[in-house]
Every structure is written in structure tokens, then in C-alpha cells.
Amino acid sequence: MKTSDRDPKTYIDIAHSFVNRSDLPDAEKKLIASELERYLKVQLTRNQWLEPAITKFCTDWYREFYRMIDRADPYRGVKDLSRRHAERLTARFKPATFGEILMFCILGNKIDYGSLSAHTPDFAELEQDLRHSAAEALDIDDSAGLDRAIRKARQVMLLVDNVGEIEFDKFLLGYVKKNGTARILIAGKEEPMLNDATVHDLRESGMSRFGTIVSTGSDCFGLHEEYVSPAFKKEFKTSDLVIAKGQAYLEFFTEYNIANVFNVLYSKYPIVGNGFRLPPHKKAVISSKRYAHPNNRRYDFG
């Protein structure tokens, strides 16, 4: 997905949203946010160069925010809150079928403080969603293909998304462990980025019970070749099934010609990529065969 495929106002809004979460004095927050807004407006109105790949652009844009607040982690508090709520909810429900497990994973993807305050999760609503999940249907359903791939794979890599959400992913990892013979890799970010799960968060959540925790080597959205580590690329290359959670990984993979990826997500923004479209508020399990195309970029595994 391209940077230009999204309303530019979104990028200004996320700057305000992020800075407002920081511990800076209010006057300083206001000044920083207004100057970041000025910068982006000048870039846009004067047709200055903007990184075309949306996940890379957003990585650079968010990294700038972190630099503005001296790399403090303004999402620490909401990450702890998410984990507590998710643990409480996952203790109450036990999805039985593969379909229910995937639906739980997708509903868990609603726990996202990622970009805007508008997406602040409502845990009471989430509880209701989970209660009625059996009646829910997927908007894009490639789950049968995913199930087959799980049973055949020798190495499965789960690219996780948010803290809290990863508690729901444990159901899926349990299923993979029970129904396949694969080596399981669970990949998190190396450094904090919004409320995305880092390797530290994965360890804290006891994810190592299900497989080997690996770091992408970066804090970037997606898996940009110049940002992720060579060690990660090696594991990524040798995984014959990649399950990628969340919107950012779908935005990233739609740029590439990689056919062994399944995206599992609840969409928050419209997603557009090389002929593929997904409106917001959709629950989806998407095989990358739907968008992978020989004309797309080839991933450089190094």
C-alpha cells in the first residue's frame, strides 16, 4: 500500500495523537505537534518527496515522534492495561473450533492504541464481541487454506501485532502446535513502537511456551529489508508459512510478491494494494495469493 493511498490528514492526526500521549508539559506538546504538522503540510503542499511505501513512511514518521520525546515510551501504561484486560477475557472464553480461534485472534486485533485516540479499544464491547463470536462471519475467509498450510508446514512464523492481542494469539499457537509438526517462531519488534509487542513483551507474556521468540531486529512497521536484521531475514526465508497479524503487515505485504503469507486482521483504515482493497471494520483471513503478483517487489532476503 502506498503512502498516497491514505488521506494525508491522517498523518497529521497521528502526530497530534502521539505527542498528546507523552509526558511533556502541555505547552511543549502543543508546540511540537504544531511544528510537525507544519513540516508535513509543507512537504505535501510543495510536492516534496515522501517515502512511497506506507509502512516505511509511517515508521520514519513515528520514529520522529519518539525522537521528539527523547525516546520515552508513552505506550507503556496502555500496554499494561491491554495485557490485564486480555488476560481477564481470555480466561473467560475457550474457542473450540479453528474458525472460533481465528475469530478470537481477529477480535483481539481490536486492541490497538496504535495511531489515533479514535481507535482506543472498548474492552466491554470486545467482551460482547467475544461472547457473540460464534455468530460472526469473516468478510474475507481464506481460513481453509490457512488450516491446510498449518498442517503441512515445517516452520511457521507468527508475526505478532499488539500487546494484549497476543494473549488471543495463544489460542492459534496452541492450535498450530497441536495440529502440525512445525517449528514455531513468534516474531516481535526489537524496540517499542506504539503498543506493538516487542520481544520483551512476548517473553513477559509467556509466549515461549508455544515456540521460539525471535526479534525482527527493528521497530519498523512491516519487514523492510533495510531495517530488519540479517538473522531475522534468514528465519523469515526458511519459514514455509507466515501468519501476519494486523493491518500494517497487510499494507506491507501487498507491495511484495510473497505467496506463503496469511494475514489475520481486523481492518481499521481502508487498505489498498496492487488491485486489492479492504474497507475498514472488516474481519479477514487473507492468503497473500490474492495480492501477490510477479510485478510486485521481490523481497531481498540478503
Partner 1 sequence: METKRAAAIIKNVSRLNVLVIGDFFLDRYNITGEPTISPEFPVLRSAVREQLDFPGAAANIARSFARLGAKVSIAGFLGENEAGATLARILERDGIDTAGAVRGGKTGLFMRIVSRNGKDVAHFHRLDEPQEHPAHAREHVAAFVKKNVAKFDLVFIADYAENEDSVIDASLVASVTRTAKHTAGMSRSRIDLFKQITWVFMNKLEAAKLIGKPDADRHAKTINQKIGSRNVVVTRGRHGAVTSNGTEIAAIMTDVVDPCGAGDTFASTFCASLLGGADENEAGNLAAQAAAIAVGQHFTYCPSGEEVIDAVARANSESQDLDRLAKKIEDYKSAGKVIVFANGFFDLIHSGHVLMLERAKQLGDVLVVGINSDRSTRENKGPGRPIMPEASRIKILSSLRFVDHVFVFDELTPIKAIMKLKPHVIVKGGNFTPDEVIGKNIVEAYGGRVEVIIPETGFMTDDLIRHIAVPQKAASRPKAKRGAPARARKSAKTHRHENKRSRS
Contacting positions for partner 1 (CB under 8 A): 27-28, 31-32, 34-36, 38-39, 41-42, 46, 48-49, 51, 60, 64, 67-68
> Residue 130 carries which side chain, given as an amino acid letter?
L
Helices and strands (DSSP H and E) totals, the chain = 11, 9
Residue with Cβ nearer partner 1 (60 or 127): 60
CB-based contact 125:266 (threshold 8 Å): no
Residue with Cβ nearer partner 1 (39 or 123): 39
Q: Minimum distance from CB of 186 to partner 1 (Å)?
A: 30
* 203, 198, 288, 53 alpha-carbon torsion, rounded to 10°: -170
CA 61, CA 297: separation in Å to the nearest integer? Answer: 23
96-to-19, 30, 102, 104, 133 alpha-carbon distances in Å: 42, 49, 10, 11, 12
Residue with Cβ nearer partner 1 (35 or 240): 35
Residue with Cβ nearer partner 1 (147 or 191): 191
Residue with Cβ nearer partner 1 (48 or 238): 48
Residue with Cβ nearer partner 1 (24 or 156): 24
Backbone φ and ψ for 141, nearest 5 degrees, come out as: -125, 95
Residue with Cβ nearer partner 1 (41 or 84): 41
Q: Minimum distance from CB of 48 to partner 1 (Å)?
A: 7
Q: Minimum distance from CB of 35 to partner 1 (Å)?
A: 5
CA 289, CA 84: separation in Å to the nearest integer? Answer: 36
For 302, other C-beta atoms within 10 Å of its C-beta total: 13
Q: Minimum distance from CB of 258 to partner 1 (Å)?
A: 22
Please name which of 174, 302, 128, 117 lies closest in space to residue 228, comparing C-alpha atoms: 302
CB-based contact 116:269 (threshold 8 Å): no
Q: Minimum distance from CB of 278 to partner 1 (Å)?
A: 28
Q: Minimum distance from CB of 155 to partner 1 (Å)?
A: 33
Q: Minimum distance from CB of 7 to partner 1 (Å)?
A: 20
CA 257, CA 3: separation in Å to the nearest integer? Answer: 19
For helices 165-179 and 98-108, angle between their N-to-C axes, nearest 10 degrees: 150
Residue with Cβ nearer partner 1 (178 or 298): 298
Q: Minimum distance from CB of 53 to partner 1 (Å)?
A: 12
Beta strands in 139-237 (DSSP E): 140-141, 155-159, 183-188, 212-215
